[in-house]
């Protein structure tokens, strides 16, 4: 007896296997759409930012975020540091969700920051990082990148507060 692939006896198991394979396939990683990184404070200790990202979960199951890791770079060359913030948040299936996280990075080199403040201009910054997303069947770090500018006044105030009573030429 010859069994052909088009016979009902073979098609049913193949169809069942295909459905099972699709149903058990790994979920897709969420899509991140960076929106905004806002400087909320520039202080003696460091720089505080609020990062906002839209996340789309393309899967039919809910996922959740665990944390956000971010590095801050000033003027394209000064590494301010890296910080990890806990961001537990549910990502419902087939929906966009806003992720907001406060990021506080401590200054590593206040001398370089003071040199930037003497330039009488806004200082561009870049926030690069990942959002750790995990569910029962998926754990992945999804990358993001945001940029903005710290105003000259924010830097001058921070440097002035860190060195009280010391006149700093060129800062005002």
Per-residue confidence (pLDDT) for residue 93, from 0 to 100? 95
Averaged pLDDT score across all residues of the chain: 78
Provide mean pLDDT across the span 3-7: 48
Q: What is the pLDDT of residues 109-146, one digit of tens each?
A: 777 777 777 788 888 999 999 999 985 556 889 999 99
Sign of CA pseudo-dihedral 34, 38, 41, 47: positive
Per-residue confidence (pLDDT) for residue 52, from 0 to 100? 92
Find the range with the poorest average confidence among 104-108, 125-129, 160-164: 160-164
**Taking the domains of the chain in order of start, what are their residue ranges?**
27-162
Tell me the CATH architecture of domain 27-162: Sandwich (2.60)
Instruction: Tell me which of 36 and 118 has the higher pLDDT.
Output: 36
Which residue in the block uniquely carries the two structure tokens 């990890």? Answer: 84
DSSP state, 25? S
Per-residue confidence (pLDDT) for residue 129, from 0 to 100? 94
Q: What is the pLDDT of residues 54-101, one digit of tens each?
A: 999 999 988 999 899 999 998 998 888 899 988 889 999 999 999 998
Calpha distance 120→104 (Å, rounded): 24
Buried b (16+ CB within 10 A) or exposed e, 30-42: bebebeebeeeeb
Q: How many angstroms separate the Cα of 59 from the Cα of each of 88, 91, 110?
A: 18, 10, 45
């Amino acid at each position: 007896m010859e069994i052909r692939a088009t016979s009902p006896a073979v098609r049913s198991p193949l169809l069942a296997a295909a459905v099972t394979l699709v149903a058990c396939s790994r979920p897709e990683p969420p899509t991140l759409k960076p929106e905004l990184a806002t400087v909320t404070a520039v202080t003696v200790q460091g720089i505080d930012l609020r990062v906002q990202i839209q996340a789309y979960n393309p899967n039919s199951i809910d996922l959740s975020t665990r944390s956000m890791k971010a590095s801050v770079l000033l003027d394209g060359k000064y590494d301010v540091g890296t910080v990890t913030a806990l961001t537990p948040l549910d990502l419902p299936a087939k929906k966009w969700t806003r992720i907001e996280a406060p990021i506080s990075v401590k200054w590593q080199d206040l001398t370089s920051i003071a040199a930037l403040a003497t330039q009488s201009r806004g200082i561009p910054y870049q926030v690069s990082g990942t959002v750790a997303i995990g569910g029962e069947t998926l754990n992945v770090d999804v990358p993001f990148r945001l940029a903005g500018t710290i105003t000259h006044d924010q830097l001058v105030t921070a440097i002035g507060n860190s060195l009280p009573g010391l006149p700093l030429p060129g800062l005002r």
